[in-house]
């Protein structure tokens, strides 16, 4: 049996679940990090600034990303205690702040995406269920920017009959409306006819339930190989990155992109701004009032 966390930690986790809609995996990660800190310094609720400083020394062998994750959990925990009036001070300022360079996403160029679509459209033209399915999958990954899990678990009920939107349940069970292009809607309609009736998922598995993420990866890499691309470069997440990057290149607003991708924090979306620095410089030079003076 797992040892019970201290009451303050349990209250914090309950707040994350109720107010922020944190998923079970997220709550489990917070619980592990807070429990590990408690094992090192004792009761977290009563920890002093000196206790918190000691954690930095205990974490010295960890990767910067691990230190950042653990420190973030504690900062949020102590912020919660201060907000609730449990503590008057916040000792988390003594935690280390490692500098992390966020890796840039792997990118697919327009020609590489076009090669994938040419191959998928040729498959669909044969009229086989497999061909119609791969085209529908590709259209929704690149055309709507869905996450792999969102795509494979898409229920039939999320596909409207007369509106150009999908209702997506993303991370933390947060719902959002995602536009679906006319060509994606056409590919999806063709697939639904070939799919037949029965089951609650748009992309069912022969063994019941829905298509697995692993199988989705396999289908995309097979498509990439047949399209003459390096299969290691193609994945659901890479196509989601391509969706975001190419929209930004086309002039999409970053806040709009944040909504489409289902990012809770605009900082997550800002990683895409690196890909279109030249366009942003041109925009400033052309549109800023001082550029015309």
State yes or no: is 272 an active-site residue.
yes
CATH number at residue 40: 1.10.150.130
* Nearest partner of 52 among 63, 62, 61, 43, judged by Cα: 43
101 found inside a domain: no
What are 175's strand-pairing partners?
A: 169
Q: Which of the residue ranges 43-52, 146-155, 174-183, 239-248 has the most confident prediction, judged by mean pLDDT?
A: 43-52
Residues 41, 139: one domain?
Answer: no
Residues 78, 188: one domain?
Answer: no
Diameter of the chain measured on Cα atoms: 72
Residues 115, 78: one domain?
Answer: no
State yes or no: is 147 an active-site residue.
yes
287 found inside a domain: no
State yes or no: is 87 an active-site residue.
no
Q: Model confidence over 97-144: pLDDT tens digits?
A: 877 555 555 678 889 999 999 999 999 999 999 999 999 999 988 887
Global pTM value: 0.57
State yes or no: is 263 an active-site residue.
yes
Question: At which of 94, 126, 160 does a domain end?
Answer: 94
State yes or no: is 221 an active-site residue.
no
Q: Model confidence over 18-77: pLDDT tens digits?
A: 876 777 788 888 899 999 999 999 999 999 999 998 888 889 888 888 888 888 889 889
User: Which domain covers residue 141, as residue numbers?
Assistant: 110-282
Catalytic residue from among 87, 171, 213, 279? 171
Asked if residue 1 has pLDDT above 50, the reply is no
Catalytic residue from among 31, 240, 241, 246? 240
Number of structural domains the chain divides into: 2
Catalytic residue from among 31, 70, 133, 147? 147
State yes or no: is 176 an active-site residue.
no
């Amino acid at each position: 049996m797992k040892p019970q966390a201290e009451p303050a930690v349990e209250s914090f986790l309950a707040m994350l679940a109720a107010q922020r809609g944190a998923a079970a995996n997220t709550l489990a990660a917070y619980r592990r990090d807070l429990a590990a800190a408690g094992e090192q310094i004792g009761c977290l609720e009563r920890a002093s600034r000196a206790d918190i400083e000691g954690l930095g020394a205990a974490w010295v062998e960890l990767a910067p990303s691990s230190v950042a994750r653990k420190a973030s959990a504690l900062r949020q925990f102590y912020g919660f205690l201060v907000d609730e009036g449990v503590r008057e001070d916040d000792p988390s300022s003594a935690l280390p702040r490692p500098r992390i360079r966020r890796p840039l996403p792997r990118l697919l160029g327009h020609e590489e995406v076009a090669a994938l679509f040419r191959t998928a459209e040729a498959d669909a033209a044969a009229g086989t269920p497999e061909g119609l399915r791969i085209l529908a999958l590709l259209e929704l990954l690149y055309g709507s920017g869905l996450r792999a899990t969102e795509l494979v678990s898409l229920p039939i009920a999320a596909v409207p009959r007369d509106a150009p939107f999908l209702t997506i349940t993303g991370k933390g069970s947060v719902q959002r409306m995602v536009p679906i292009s006319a060509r994606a809607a056409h590919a999806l309609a063709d697939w639904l006819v070939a799919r037949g009736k029965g089951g609650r998922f748009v992309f069912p598995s022969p063994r019941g339930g829905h298509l697995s993420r692993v199988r989705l990866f396999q289908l995309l890499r097979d498509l990439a190989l047949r399209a003459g691309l390096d299969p290691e470069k193609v994945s659901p997440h890479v196509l989601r990155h391509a969706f975001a990057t190419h929209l930004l290149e086309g002039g999409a607003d970053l806040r709009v992109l944040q909504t489409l991708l289902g990012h809770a924090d605009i900082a997550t979306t800002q990683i895409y701004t690196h890909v279109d620095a030249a366009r942003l410089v041109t925009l400033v030079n052309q549109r800023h009032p001082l550029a015309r003076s």
